[in-house]
Protein backbone atom coordinates (compact mmCIF):
# COMPACT_ATOMS: atom_id res chain seq x y z
CA UNK A 1 0.00 0.00 0.00
CA UNK A 2 1.29 3.53 -0.83
CA UNK A 3 2.52 5.16 2.43
CA UNK A 4 0.17 8.15 1.93
CA UNK A 5 -2.81 5.85 1.48
CA UNK A 6 -1.90 3.77 4.51
CA UNK A 7 -1.64 7.02 6.50
CA UNK A 8 -5.11 8.14 5.33
CA UNK A 9 -6.65 4.76 6.05
CA UNK A 10 -5.61 4.12 9.64
CA UNK A 11 -8.50 4.36 12.06
CA UNK A 12 -9.13 8.02 12.80
CA UNK A 13 -11.84 10.04 14.50
CA UNK A 14 -13.77 11.84 11.74
CA UNK A 15 -15.03 15.41 11.82
CA UNK A 16 -17.57 16.50 9.20
CA UNK A 17 -17.25 20.16 8.21
CA UNK A 18 -14.29 22.53 8.47
CA UNK A 19 -16.16 25.54 9.87
CA UNK A 20 -14.89 26.99 13.15
CA UNK A 21 -16.79 24.36 15.19
CA UNK A 22 -15.37 21.36 13.32
CA UNK A 23 -11.87 22.81 13.19
CA UNK A 24 -11.77 23.72 16.86
CA UNK A 25 -12.99 20.19 17.68
CA UNK A 26 -10.30 18.69 15.43
CA UNK A 27 -7.67 20.97 16.98
CA UNK A 28 -8.78 19.83 20.45
CA UNK A 29 -8.55 16.16 19.40
CA UNK A 30 -5.11 16.71 17.86
CA UNK A 31 -3.87 18.40 21.03
CA UNK A 32 -4.99 15.29 22.89
CA UNK A 33 -2.84 13.04 20.74
CA UNK A 34 -5.47 11.96 18.19
CA UNK A 35 -5.14 12.35 14.44
CA UNK A 36 -8.59 13.32 13.13
CA UNK A 37 -9.72 13.36 9.53
CA UNK A 38 -11.76 16.47 8.64
CA UNK A 39 -13.99 16.33 5.54
CA UNK A 40 -15.08 19.65 4.04
CA UNK A 41 -17.23 19.97 0.93
CA UNK A 42 -16.03 23.47 -0.04
CA UNK A 43 -12.68 24.45 -1.52
CA UNK A 44 -11.76 26.56 1.53
CA UNK A 45 -11.94 26.08 5.28
CA UNK A 46 -14.06 28.32 7.53
CA UNK A 47 -17.69 27.60 6.58
CA UNK A 48 -19.76 30.69 7.42
CA UNK A 49 -16.62 32.36 8.75
CA UNK A 50 -14.57 31.67 5.61
CA UNK A 51 -13.12 34.50 3.54
CA UNK A 52 -12.76 34.57 -0.23
CA UNK A 53 -9.83 36.10 -2.03
CA UNK A 54 -10.72 38.34 -4.98
CA UNK A 55 -7.71 39.94 -6.61
CA UNK A 56 -5.59 41.31 -3.80
CA UNK A 57 -8.43 41.55 -1.29
CA UNK A 58 -10.21 39.23 1.15
CA UNK A 59 -13.95 39.29 1.64
CA UNK A 60 -15.50 37.84 4.82
CA UNK A 61 -19.02 36.45 4.62
CA UNK A 62 -20.23 39.50 6.53
CA UNK A 63 -17.56 40.77 8.88
CA UNK A 64 -16.71 38.09 11.48
CA UNK A 65 -15.13 39.45 14.64
CA UNK A 66 -13.96 37.11 17.36
CA UNK A 67 -15.48 37.80 20.79
CA UNK A 68 -13.36 36.96 23.82
CA UNK A 69 -16.12 35.90 26.26
CA UNK A 70 -14.71 32.38 26.34
CA UNK A 71 -11.24 33.00 27.71
CA UNK A 72 -9.92 29.50 27.01
CA UNK A 73 -10.89 29.58 23.34
CA UNK A 74 -9.64 33.11 22.92
CA UNK A 75 -6.24 32.25 24.41
CA UNK A 76 -6.00 29.13 22.25
CA UNK A 77 -6.55 31.20 19.11
CA UNK A 78 -4.17 33.83 20.35
CA UNK A 79 -1.50 31.15 20.73
CA UNK A 80 -2.09 30.12 17.09
CA UNK A 81 -2.27 33.60 15.58
CA UNK A 82 -0.07 35.67 17.91
CA UNK A 83 -0.07 39.41 17.12
CA UNK A 84 -2.14 38.83 13.97
CA UNK A 85 -5.18 38.76 16.24
CA UNK A 86 -5.62 42.54 16.36
CA UNK A 87 -7.94 44.12 18.89
CA UNK A 88 -10.58 46.67 17.99
CA UNK A 89 -13.17 48.40 20.17
CA UNK A 90 -16.71 47.45 19.22
CA UNK A 91 -18.79 50.19 17.65
CA UNK A 92 -22.18 49.44 16.16
CA UNK A 93 -24.95 51.72 14.97
CA UNK A 94 -28.54 51.25 13.95
CA UNK A 95 -30.49 53.42 11.52
CA UNK A 96 -33.42 54.49 13.63
CA UNK A 97 -35.78 57.44 13.45
CA UNK A 98 -34.08 60.28 11.64
CA UNK A 99 -30.51 59.28 12.25
CA UNK A 100 -28.05 56.68 13.45
CA UNK A 101 -28.10 55.49 17.06
CA UNK A 102 -25.78 53.28 19.04
CA UNK A 103 -26.60 49.59 18.79
CA UNK A 104 -28.00 48.08 20.97
CA UNK A 105 -30.41 50.99 21.27
CA UNK A 106 -30.08 52.98 24.49
CA UNK A 107 -32.93 54.42 26.53
CA UNK A 108 -32.42 58.05 25.49
CA UNK A 109 -31.94 57.02 21.87
CA UNK A 110 -35.23 55.17 21.70
CA UNK A 111 -36.97 58.20 23.23
CA UNK A 112 -35.50 60.43 20.53
CA UNK A 113 -36.46 58.00 17.77
CA UNK A 114 -40.21 57.69 18.42
CA UNK A 115 -42.61 60.56 17.69
CA UNK A 116 -44.12 61.81 21.03
CA UNK A 117 -47.63 60.36 20.57
CA UNK A 118 -46.27 57.01 19.50
CA UNK A 119 -43.86 57.07 22.42
CA UNK A 120 -46.73 57.54 24.88
CA UNK A 121 -48.59 54.67 23.23
CA UNK A 122 -45.47 52.46 23.39
CA UNK A 123 -44.81 53.12 27.08
CA UNK A 124 -48.43 52.59 28.06
CA UNK A 125 -48.59 49.49 25.81
CA UNK A 126 -45.57 48.07 27.60
CA UNK A 127 -47.02 48.82 31.04
CA UNK A 128 -50.40 47.33 30.07
CA UNK A 129 -48.72 44.21 28.71
CA UNK A 130 -46.62 43.76 31.86
CA UNK A 131 -49.83 43.87 33.90
CA UNK A 132 -51.54 41.36 31.60
CA UNK A 133 -48.54 39.02 31.80
CA UNK A 134 -49.04 38.78 35.57
CA UNK A 135 -52.47 37.23 35.12
CA UNK A 136 -52.16 35.50 31.77
CA UNK A 137 -50.85 32.00 32.34
CA UNK A 138 -50.99 30.81 28.71
CA UNK A 139 -47.68 30.42 26.88
CA UNK A 140 -47.20 32.40 23.64
CA UNK A 141 -48.14 30.28 20.63
CA UNK A 142 -45.96 32.01 18.06
CA UNK A 143 -43.32 34.72 17.66
CA UNK A 144 -45.92 37.47 17.25
CA UNK A 145 -47.53 36.65 20.60
CA UNK A 146 -44.13 36.28 22.26
CA UNK A 147 -42.99 39.67 20.95
CA UNK A 148 -46.22 41.33 22.08
CA UNK A 149 -45.81 39.73 25.53
CA UNK A 150 -42.32 41.18 25.76
CA UNK A 151 -42.84 44.63 24.29
CA UNK A 152 -46.56 45.34 24.12
CA UNK A 153 -48.53 45.80 20.90
CA UNK A 154 -47.55 49.38 19.93
CA UNK A 155 -43.81 48.77 20.26
CA UNK A 156 -44.14 45.43 18.46
CA UNK A 157 -45.87 47.19 15.54
CA UNK A 158 -43.49 50.15 15.57
CA UNK A 159 -40.23 48.28 15.83
CA UNK A 160 -40.40 44.54 15.26
CA UNK A 161 -43.16 43.39 12.95
CA UNK A 162 -42.03 44.64 9.52
CA UNK A 163 -38.36 44.06 10.08
CA UNK A 164 -38.79 40.51 11.39
CA UNK A 165 -41.07 39.60 8.49
CA UNK A 166 -38.74 41.11 5.88
CA UNK A 167 -35.72 39.40 7.44
CA UNK A 168 -37.19 35.90 7.55
CA UNK A 169 -39.53 36.19 4.57
CA UNK A 170 -42.45 34.80 6.62
CA UNK A 171 -45.03 36.43 8.93
CA UNK A 172 -44.19 36.48 12.66
CA UNK A 173 -47.26 34.26 13.21
CA UNK A 174 -45.38 31.50 11.34
CA UNK A 175 -42.27 31.76 13.49
CA UNK A 176 -42.00 29.87 16.77
CA UNK A 177 -42.00 31.66 20.12
CA UNK A 178 -38.73 29.76 20.78
CA UNK A 179 -37.17 32.09 18.21
CA UNK A 180 -37.89 35.13 20.38
CA UNK A 181 -36.68 33.43 23.56
CA UNK A 182 -33.40 32.12 22.18
CA UNK A 183 -32.43 34.15 19.13
CA UNK A 184 -33.72 37.69 19.30
CA UNK A 185 -31.56 40.15 21.23
CA UNK A 186 -33.87 42.34 23.22
CA UNK A 187 -33.71 46.10 23.19
CA UNK A 188 -31.67 47.31 26.12
CA UNK A 189 -33.85 50.42 26.00
CA UNK A 190 -36.78 48.23 26.92
CA UNK A 191 -34.77 46.63 29.73
CA UNK A 192 -34.39 50.10 31.21
CA UNK A 193 -38.10 50.81 30.87
CA UNK A 194 -38.91 47.47 32.49
CA UNK A 195 -36.57 48.16 35.38
CA UNK A 196 -38.29 51.49 35.90
CA UNK A 197 -41.68 49.80 35.87
CA UNK A 198 -40.35 47.19 38.30
CA UNK A 199 -39.80 50.01 40.80
CA UNK A 200 -43.49 50.77 40.57
CA UNK A 201 -44.42 47.15 41.18
CA UNK A 202 -44.91 46.28 37.49
CA UNK A 203 -42.45 43.43 37.41
CA UNK A 204 -42.93 41.19 34.38
CA UNK A 205 -43.24 37.50 35.27
CA UNK A 206 -42.98 36.22 31.72
CA UNK A 207 -39.78 37.89 30.63
CA UNK A 208 -37.63 35.09 29.26
CA UNK A 209 -35.96 36.64 26.21
CA UNK A 210 -32.21 36.54 25.60
CA UNK A 211 -30.04 39.23 27.15
CA UNK A 212 -29.29 42.46 25.30
CA UNK A 213 -26.04 42.55 23.33
CA UNK A 214 -23.29 44.45 25.10
CA UNK A 215 -22.51 47.99 24.05
CA UNK A 216 -18.84 48.01 24.96
CA UNK A 217 -16.56 45.15 24.11
CA UNK A 218 -13.15 44.45 22.63
CA UNK A 219 -13.33 42.40 19.45
CA UNK A 220 -10.54 40.66 17.55
CA UNK A 221 -9.82 40.49 13.84
CA UNK A 222 -6.84 39.37 11.71
CA UNK A 223 -5.38 41.53 8.89
CA UNK A 224 -6.65 39.29 6.06
CA UNK A 225 -10.00 38.62 7.70
CA UNK A 226 -11.72 35.91 9.75
CA UNK A 227 -10.39 33.20 7.38
CA UNK A 228 -7.11 33.31 9.33
CA UNK A 229 -8.84 31.84 12.40
CA UNK A 230 -9.88 28.72 10.49
CA UNK A 231 -6.67 28.48 8.50
CA UNK A 232 -4.58 28.56 11.68
CA UNK A 233 -6.67 25.76 13.24
CA UNK A 234 -6.47 23.63 10.07
CA UNK A 235 -2.68 24.12 9.96
CA UNK A 236 -2.41 23.10 13.62
CA UNK A 237 -4.48 19.94 12.98
CA UNK A 238 -2.28 18.92 10.05
CA UNK A 239 0.94 19.74 11.89
CA UNK A 240 -0.11 17.29 14.60
CA UNK A 241 -0.82 14.46 12.15
CA UNK A 242 -4.48 15.11 11.35
CA UNK A 243 -5.85 15.51 7.82
CA UNK A 244 -8.12 18.20 6.37
CA UNK A 245 -9.63 17.22 3.02
CA UNK A 246 -11.21 20.05 1.03
CA UNK A 247 -13.68 19.62 -1.85
CA UNK A 248 -14.72 16.40 -0.12
CA UNK A 249 -18.41 16.09 0.79
CA UNK A 250 -19.26 13.10 2.94
CA UNK A 251 -21.20 10.54 0.89
CA UNK A 252 -22.25 8.05 3.55
CA UNK A 253 -22.03 7.53 7.28
CA UNK A 254 -22.15 3.79 8.00
CA UNK A 255 -23.53 2.64 11.33
CA UNK A 256 -24.03 -0.83 12.70
CA UNK A 257 -25.38 -2.12 16.01
CA UNK A 258 -26.07 1.41 17.26
CA UNK A 259 -22.56 2.75 16.54
CA UNK A 260 -20.98 4.71 13.69
CA UNK A 261 -18.34 2.53 12.01
CA UNK A 262 -17.06 4.44 8.99
CA UNK A 263 -17.58 7.34 6.60
CA UNK A 264 -17.42 7.13 2.81
CA UNK A 265 -16.11 9.87 0.53
CA UNK A 266 -14.33 10.33 -2.81
CA UNK A 267 -10.67 11.36 -2.54
CA UNK A 268 -8.87 13.96 -4.67
CA UNK A 269 -7.89 11.25 -7.19
CA UNK A 270 -11.54 10.32 -7.69
CA UNK A 271 -11.27 7.03 -5.72
CA UNK A 272 -14.00 6.01 -3.32
CA UNK A 273 -12.65 5.75 0.25
CA UNK A 274 -14.06 4.18 3.39
CA UNK A 275 -12.61 5.62 6.59
CA UNK A 276 -13.18 3.58 9.73
CA UNK A 277 -13.61 5.74 12.80
CA UNK A 278 -13.95 5.22 16.56
CA UNK A 279 -16.33 8.20 16.64
CA UNK A 280 -17.86 10.87 14.42
CA UNK A 281 -18.30 14.55 15.19
CA UNK A 282 -20.60 16.20 12.65
CA UNK A 283 -21.06 19.95 12.13
CA UNK A 284 -22.86 19.75 8.78
CA UNK A 285 -26.56 20.74 8.65
CA UNK A 286 -28.63 18.25 10.64
CA UNK A 287 -30.84 17.23 7.65
CA UNK A 288 -27.70 16.59 5.52
CA UNK A 289 -26.36 14.24 8.20
CA UNK A 290 -29.62 12.30 8.36
CA UNK A 291 -29.61 12.04 4.56
CA UNK A 292 -26.21 10.27 4.38
CA UNK A 293 -26.81 7.68 7.13
CA UNK A 294 -26.47 4.04 5.96
CA UNK A 295 -28.63 2.15 6.69
CA UNK A 296 -31.13 5.03 6.38
CA UNK A 297 -32.73 6.47 9.47
CA UNK A 298 -36.37 5.41 10.10
CA UNK A 299 -38.93 7.18 7.85
CA UNK A 300 -40.24 9.21 10.79
CA UNK A 301 -36.74 10.63 11.46
CA UNK A 302 -36.13 11.38 7.79
CA UNK A 303 -39.48 13.13 7.57
CA UNK A 304 -38.72 15.17 10.71
CA UNK A 305 -35.28 16.16 9.35
CA UNK A 306 -36.87 17.43 6.12
CA UNK A 307 -39.05 19.81 8.16
CA UNK A 308 -35.97 21.64 9.49
CA UNK A 309 -35.31 24.56 7.17
CA UNK A 310 -32.63 27.23 6.82
CA UNK A 311 -32.55 30.83 5.62
CA UNK A 312 -29.87 31.71 3.09
CA UNK A 313 -27.83 34.87 3.07
CA UNK A 314 -26.09 36.81 0.31
CA UNK A 315 -23.21 39.16 0.99
CA UNK A 316 -22.53 41.82 -1.62
CA UNK A 317 -18.89 42.84 -1.35
CA UNK A 318 -17.80 46.17 -2.88
CA UNK A 319 -14.30 47.47 -3.48
CA UNK A 320 -14.84 51.22 -3.22
CA UNK A 321 -12.61 54.11 -4.24
CA UNK A 322 -12.84 55.86 -0.88
CA UNK A 323 -10.64 55.97 2.20
CA UNK A 324 -13.50 55.28 4.63
CA UNK A 325 -17.30 54.93 4.49
CA UNK A 326 -18.89 54.03 7.83
CA UNK A 327 -18.74 55.59 11.28
CA UNK A 328 -18.82 52.21 13.07
CA UNK A 329 -17.55 48.66 12.52
CA UNK A 330 -21.04 47.66 11.52
CA UNK A 331 -24.37 49.41 10.96
CA UNK A 332 -27.84 47.81 11.10
CA UNK A 333 -30.71 48.91 8.86
CA UNK A 334 -34.39 48.08 9.24
CA UNK A 335 -35.83 49.27 5.96
CA UNK A 336 -33.12 48.88 3.32
CA UNK A 337 -32.37 45.88 1.12
CA UNK A 338 -29.30 45.23 3.31
CA UNK A 339 -29.78 44.39 6.99
CA UNK A 340 -26.22 45.10 7.99
CA UNK A 341 -23.25 46.92 6.48
CA UNK A 342 -19.69 46.39 7.60
CA UNK A 343 -16.37 47.95 6.63
CA UNK A 344 -13.70 45.48 7.76
CA UNK A 345 -10.89 47.96 7.06
CA UNK A 346 -12.01 49.70 10.28
CA UNK A 347 -11.16 46.45 12.12
CA UNK A 348 -7.70 46.30 10.57
CA UNK A 349 -8.31 44.50 7.24
CA UNK A 350 -5.56 45.27 4.73
CA UNK A 351 -7.16 46.65 1.57
CA UNK A 352 -5.51 47.18 -1.82
CA UNK A 353 -4.94 49.55 -3.58
CA UNK A 354 -4.31 52.36 -1.08
CA UNK A 355 -7.10 54.91 -0.83
CA UNK A 356 -9.75 52.17 -1.22
CA UNK A 357 -11.97 50.30 1.21
CA UNK A 358 -14.29 47.27 1.23
CA UNK A 359 -17.97 47.42 2.06
CA UNK A 360 -19.92 44.24 2.91
CA UNK A 361 -23.71 44.36 2.59
CA UNK A 362 -25.68 41.43 4.06
CA UNK A 363 -29.16 40.44 2.94
CA UNK A 364 -31.21 37.32 3.64
CA UNK A 365 -32.40 35.36 0.59
CA UNK A 366 -33.34 31.91 -0.73
CA UNK A 367 -31.43 29.80 -3.26
CA UNK A 368 -32.34 30.85 -6.79
CA UNK A 369 -33.97 34.20 -6.00
CA UNK A 370 -32.68 37.48 -7.43
CA UNK A 371 -30.62 38.37 -4.33
CA UNK A 372 -29.00 34.92 -4.32
CA UNK A 373 -28.21 35.11 -8.03
CA UNK A 374 -26.79 38.63 -7.85
CA UNK A 375 -29.46 39.70 -10.33
CA UNK A 376 -29.69 43.13 -11.97
CA UNK A 377 -32.65 44.17 -9.80
CA UNK A 378 -30.86 43.44 -6.52
CA UNK A 379 -27.61 45.03 -7.68
CA UNK A 380 -29.44 48.21 -8.67
CA UNK A 381 -31.40 48.31 -5.39
CA UNK A 382 -28.23 47.77 -3.33
CA UNK A 383 -26.52 50.69 -5.02
CA UNK A 384 -29.54 52.99 -4.88
CA UNK A 385 -30.00 52.23 -1.15
CA UNK A 386 -26.30 52.92 -0.49
CA UNK A 387 -26.61 56.18 -2.43
CA UNK A 388 -29.81 57.10 -0.59
CA UNK A 389 -27.93 56.67 2.70
CA UNK A 390 -25.28 59.07 1.34
CA UNK A 391 -22.58 56.43 1.79
CA UNK A 392 -21.21 56.01 -1.73
CA UNK A 393 -21.82 57.05 -5.32
CA UNK A 394 -22.18 54.42 -8.03
CA UNK A 395 -18.98 55.74 -9.73
CA UNK A 396 -16.97 54.95 -6.54
CA UNK A 397 -17.55 51.20 -6.94
CA UNK A 398 -14.55 49.47 -8.53
CA UNK A 399 -15.63 45.81 -8.16
CA UNK A 400 -18.71 43.93 -6.93
CA UNK A 401 -18.64 40.31 -5.72
CA UNK A 402 -21.60 38.27 -4.52
CA UNK A 403 -21.13 35.47 -1.95
CA UNK A 404 -23.95 33.17 -0.86
CA UNK A 405 -24.54 30.56 1.85
CA UNK A 406 -27.64 28.37 1.86
CA UNK A 407 -27.36 27.39 5.54
CA UNK A 408 -26.84 30.78 7.20
CA UNK A 409 -29.70 30.75 9.73
CA UNK A 410 -31.71 27.79 11.07
CA UNK A 411 -35.37 28.84 10.75
CA UNK A 412 -37.41 28.36 13.92
CA UNK A 413 -40.68 27.83 12.07
CA UNK A 414 -43.87 27.41 14.02
CA UNK A 415 -43.99 23.82 15.27
CA UNK A 416 -40.35 22.94 14.50
CA UNK A 417 -39.56 21.79 18.07
CA UNK A 418 -41.05 18.23 17.93
CA UNK A 419 -39.26 17.60 14.61
CA UNK A 420 -35.95 18.71 16.07
CA UNK A 421 -36.57 16.53 19.14
CA UNK A 422 -37.34 13.51 16.95
CA UNK A 423 -34.08 13.88 15.03
CA UNK A 424 -31.93 14.67 18.07
CA UNK A 425 -33.43 11.86 20.18
CA UNK A 426 -32.83 9.31 17.47
CA UNK A 427 -29.24 10.47 16.85
CA UNK A 428 -28.78 10.52 20.63
CA UNK A 429 -29.16 6.73 20.52
CA UNK A 430 -25.82 6.50 18.67
CA UNK A 431 -23.32 7.08 21.48
CA UNK A 432 -20.21 7.60 19.30
CA UNK A 433 -21.86 10.35 17.23
CA UNK A 434 -22.37 14.07 18.05
CA UNK A 435 -24.02 16.64 15.81
CA UNK A 436 -23.00 20.14 16.97
CA UNK A 437 -22.28 23.69 15.77
CA UNK A 438 -24.69 26.19 14.28
CA UNK A 439 -26.28 23.98 11.64
CA UNK A 440 -25.44 20.64 13.24
CA UNK A 441 -27.08 21.76 16.50
CA UNK A 442 -29.80 23.82 14.75
CA UNK A 443 -29.11 26.82 16.97
CA UNK A 444 -27.50 30.28 16.94
CA UNK A 445 -24.06 30.34 18.50
CA UNK A 446 -21.55 32.97 17.44
CA UNK A 447 -18.05 31.74 16.54
CA UNK A 448 -16.77 31.17 20.04
CA UNK A 449 -20.09 29.53 21.00
CA UNK A 450 -19.73 27.16 18.04
CA UNK A 451 -16.11 26.42 18.97
CA UNK A 452 -17.12 25.71 22.58
CA UNK A 453 -19.70 23.19 21.29
CA UNK A 454 -16.97 21.55 19.20
CA UNK A 455 -14.52 21.40 22.12
CA UNK A 456 -17.07 19.84 24.46
CA UNK A 457 -18.17 17.22 21.95
CA UNK A 458 -14.51 16.39 21.25
CA UNK A 459 -13.80 15.91 24.96
CA UNK A 460 -16.86 13.73 25.51
CA UNK A 461 -16.26 11.51 22.49
CA UNK A 462 -12.56 11.01 23.13
CA UNK A 463 -13.17 10.28 26.83
CA UNK A 464 -15.82 7.72 25.87
CA UNK A 465 -13.68 5.95 23.29
CA UNK A 466 -10.62 6.03 25.58
CA UNK A 467 -12.67 4.00 28.05
CA UNK A 468 -13.36 1.51 25.25
CA UNK A 469 -9.64 1.56 24.36
CA UNK A 470 -10.34 1.89 20.65
CA UNK A 471 -8.62 5.15 19.74
CA UNK A 472 -5.34 4.68 17.94
CA UNK A 473 -2.60 7.06 18.93
CA UNK A 474 -4.23 8.16 22.14
CA UNK A 475 -1.76 8.67 24.99
By CB under 6 A, name the binding residues for ligand FAD. Answer: 16-22, 39-42, 47-49, 61-65, 67, 249-250, 283-284, 288, 313, 362, 407-408, 437-439, 445-447, 450
Q: At its nearest, how many Å lie between ligand FAD and the CB of residue 60?
A: 8
Shortest Cβ 82–ligand FAD spacing (Å): 20
Rounded Cα gap, residues 190 and 109, in angstroms: 11
Phi-psi category of 36—alpha, beta or left, where left has phi over 0 and alpha has psi -120 to 50? beta
Task: Give the Cα separation of 236 and 27 in Å (integer).
Answer: 7
- Of 89 and 387, which CB lies nearer to ligand FAD in the complex structure? 89
To the nearest whole angstrom, how small is the minimum distance from the Cβ of residue 266 to ligand FAD? 11
- Comparing CB distances to ligand FAD, the nearer of 113 and 440 is 440
C-beta closer to ligand FAD: residue 47 or 104: 47
CB of 114 to ligand FAD, least distance (A): 28
Between CA 469 and CA 371 the distance in angstroms is 51
Provide the angle, in degrees to the nearest 10, between the axes of the packed helices 227-239 and 20-31: 30
Least separation in angstroms between CB 22 and ligand FAD:
5
Contact 152, 128 (CB under 8 A): yes
Nearer to ligand FAD, 151 or 330 (CB): 330
> Strand 397-411 vs strand 357-365: parallel, antiparallel, or unpaired?
unpaired
Closest approach, Cβ 312 to ligand FAD, in A, equals: 9
CA dihedral 74, 61, 218, 104 (to 10 degrees): -130
**Which residues, including other chains, have CB under 8 Å from residue 300's CB and lie 6 or more apart?**
422
Characterize the bridge pairing of strands 397-411 and 309-320: antiparallel
Q: Which is nearer to ligand FAD, 154 or 312 (CB)?
A: 312
Q: 18 or 81, CB closer to ligand FAD?
A: 18
Q: How many whole angstroms separate alpha carbon 21 and alpha carbon 38?
A: 11
Amino acid sequence: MEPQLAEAQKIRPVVLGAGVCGLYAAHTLAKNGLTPLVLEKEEVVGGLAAGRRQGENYYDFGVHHLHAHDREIFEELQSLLGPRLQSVEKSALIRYGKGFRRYPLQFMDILKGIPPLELMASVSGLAWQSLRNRFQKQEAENAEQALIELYGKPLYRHFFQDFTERYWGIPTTELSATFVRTKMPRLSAVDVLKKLMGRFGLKDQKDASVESATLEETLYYPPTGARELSMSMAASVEKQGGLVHLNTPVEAVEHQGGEVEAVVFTDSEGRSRRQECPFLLSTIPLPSLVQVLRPSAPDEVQHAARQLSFKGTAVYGYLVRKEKILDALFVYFRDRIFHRLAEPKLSGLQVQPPGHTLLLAETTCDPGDDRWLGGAETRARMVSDLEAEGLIQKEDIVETHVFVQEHAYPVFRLGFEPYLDTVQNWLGGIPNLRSVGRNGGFCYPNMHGAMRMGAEAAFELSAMSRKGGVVEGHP
